[in-house]
Amino acid sequence: MALLRESETLKALRNTVSDEISRIKDKSQAQDKILEMREVSQRIKGMDEELKQLEEELNGFLLTVPNLPDPATPLGASENDNVLVRTWGEPADYSFTPRPHWEIGEDLGILDFECGAKLTGARFTLYRGAGARLERALINFMLDLHTDGHGYLEVLPPFMVNRESMQGTGQLPKFEEDLFRLVDPEFFLIPTAEVPVTNIHRGEILKKSDLPICYAAYTPCFRREAGSYGKDTRGLIRQHQFNKVELVKFTHPSESAAELENLTGNAEKVLQLLGLPYRVMALCSGDIGFSASKTYDIEVWLPGQSCYREISSCSTFGDFQARRAGIRFREEEKSKPEFVHTINGSGLAVGRTLVAILENGQQEDGSVLIPDVLRPYMGGLERIVSR
C-alpha cells in the first residue's frame, strides 16, 4: 500500500515536470530537469515491478479461496449431512428384480460400452438406434420446455473455452486436473455449459431492467474424473463425455434466493413430466462446491440400483463468479456498478435422464416404455424393444 502511494506520488511528479519541460522552448535549459526525471523514472520502474509481483501473489492466492456458504446452507462435513428438502413421486413396485440400465441397454442393443472403449477408452459409450434417438429426444424436449415453457433464451455456445473463461466461473486455477486441455492453442473442453454461458457477460455492465437474464443451453460436457477410479465404472453414470441442458441466470442480488428456487423448480419440472421419482437435497457446507454458496441437488430414483442418484445440481454463487468475471449492473442510472448474482443448474443431465428412463420404464420382458411426453420426439415410438 505504502509502496503504491510512493509510486503514484512519483508519477505525479514526473507528469507535472514533464509538462513543464514541454513548455520550455529552449531544450538546453531543461537538461537538468530531464536528468532528474530520468532518475525518477528508474525508481518508478523498480517500484512498479515490485508492486506487480506482490499483486500477482495476492491475486494468485485470492483465486484459490472458495466461496462463503450462504447462511441457509446447512452445516456438515460430508454428503451424509445433506438435508432432505422434499420428495416427488413413488418408486414403483416391481414384480421382478429391476435390472441396472447397462444390462437393459446392452440387451436392447442401444448402448454399446465395449465399442465406446474401443473407439476412445473407458467411460465413453456408443449409442445406437433408439438409444441415440432417445438421447436426442431428451435434449429437444428439455430445451423446448425451458424456452417455450419457462422463458429461457436458448444459446448454443462453443464447447471449448480459453483460460480466462475457466477462471471467471472458478474452474481455474484450482481444478485444472479435472479438465481436458488442448495444448495448441490452449483451450479447455468445457466441463459444463455454465462456463461459456456465464462468461457471455464477462466484463460487462448489464442493464438493471434486463435482469434477470435467463439462458438455456445444450452442450456436451467433458470431465477427466480424476480421482474417481473404480467408481461407477459400469454404465452411463460417470462418463468423460456426456450431454447436458444447462440453465443459467444473472439476477439482481435481492432476487437470487427466489430465482434459485425457480430454477430448481424448472429442473424438477422435467422429471415430473417424465414421471420419474426424485428427491431434492440441500447440500451441506462440507459437500458444496468451491464456487457455490448454496446448492440443491436433485436426485432421481434408479430402481436398478435401488438408490437416488444426482441428476441436477442447482446453485447460487452469490457474487462470487460475478466478481471473478466482472459482471455488474447499476442500481440507479448514475450509481456505482454492483455485482450481479449468478445461478445455474442442470435441467437436466441428459445421459443420467436416459438411465432413469431405462431403469424406471423397464418391463419384465426387457422392453422399456417411453414416457408420453417424449413420444412425439421419438417418431411416435411407445416402447423400445429388442431388435
Partner RNA sequence: GGAGAGAUGGCCGAGUGGCCGAAGGCGCUCGCCUGCUAAGCGAGUAUACUGGGAAACCGGUAUCGAGGGUUCGAAUCCCUCUCUCUCCGCCA
Q: Which is nearer to RNA, 79 or 164 (CB)?
A: 164
* Edge-to-edge order in the sheet of strand 181-182: 160-161, 187-189, 181-182
Q: Which three-class secondary structure state does DSSP give residue 65?
A: coil
Q: Does 337 bind RNA (CB under 7 A)?
A: yes
- Pull the grid cell for residue 156: 448454443
Stretch that binds RNA, among 68-76, 253-261, 283-291, 332-340 (CB under 7 A): 332-340
Catalytic site includes residue 310: yes
Characterize 126-144 residue by residue with b for buried, 16 or more Cβ atoms within 10 angstroms of its Cβ, and e for exposed: bbbebbebbbebbbebbbe
Catalytic site includes residue 352: yes
Side-chain half-sphere exposure of 117, counting CA atoms within 13 A: 10
Q: Does 375 bind RNA (CB under 7 A)?
A: no
Q: Answer whether 356's CB lies under 8 Å from 104's CB.
A: no
5-64 residues in contact with RNA (CB under 7 A) are 5, 8-9, 11-12, 14-19, 21-22, 34, 37-38, 40-41, 45, 52
Binding footprint of RNA, residue count (CB under 7 A): 26
Stretch that binds RNA, among 1-9, 139-147, 149-157, 222-230 (CB under 7 A): 1-9
Q: Does 166 bind RNA (CB under 7 A)?
A: no
Catalytic site includes residue 22: no
Q: Answer whether 105's CB lies under 8 Å from 131's CB.
A: yes
Which residue from 335, 336, 343 is spatially nearest to 253, judged by alpha carbons?
343
252 burial type by CB count under 10 A (0-12 exposed, 13-18 middle, 19+ buried)? middle
Q: Which is nearer to RNA, 5 or 387 (CB)?
A: 5
Q: Which is nearer to RNA, 32 or 93 (CB)?
A: 32
> Which one is catalytic: 135, 256, 352, 359?
352
Catalytic site includes residue 383: no
Catalytic site includes residue 223: yes
Spatial separation of the C-alpha atoms in residues 113 and 274, rounded to whole Å: 25
Q: How far is the CB of 219 from RNA (least distance, A)?
A: 17
Q: Which is nearer to RNA, 45 or 234 (CB)?
A: 45
Which residue from 327, 289, 250 is spatially nearest to 66, judged by alpha carbons?
289
Q: Which is nearer to RNA, 17 or 369 (CB)?
A: 17
Q: Answer whether 289's CB lies under 8 Å from 297's CB.
A: no
Q: How far is the CB of 66 from RNA (least distance, A)?
A: 22
Q: Which residues are catalytic?
A: 223, 238, 310, 313, 352
Q: Which residues bind RNA (CB under 7 A)?
A: 5, 8-9, 11-12, 14-19, 21-22, 34, 37-38, 40-41, 45, 52, 185, 205, 328, 333, 336-337
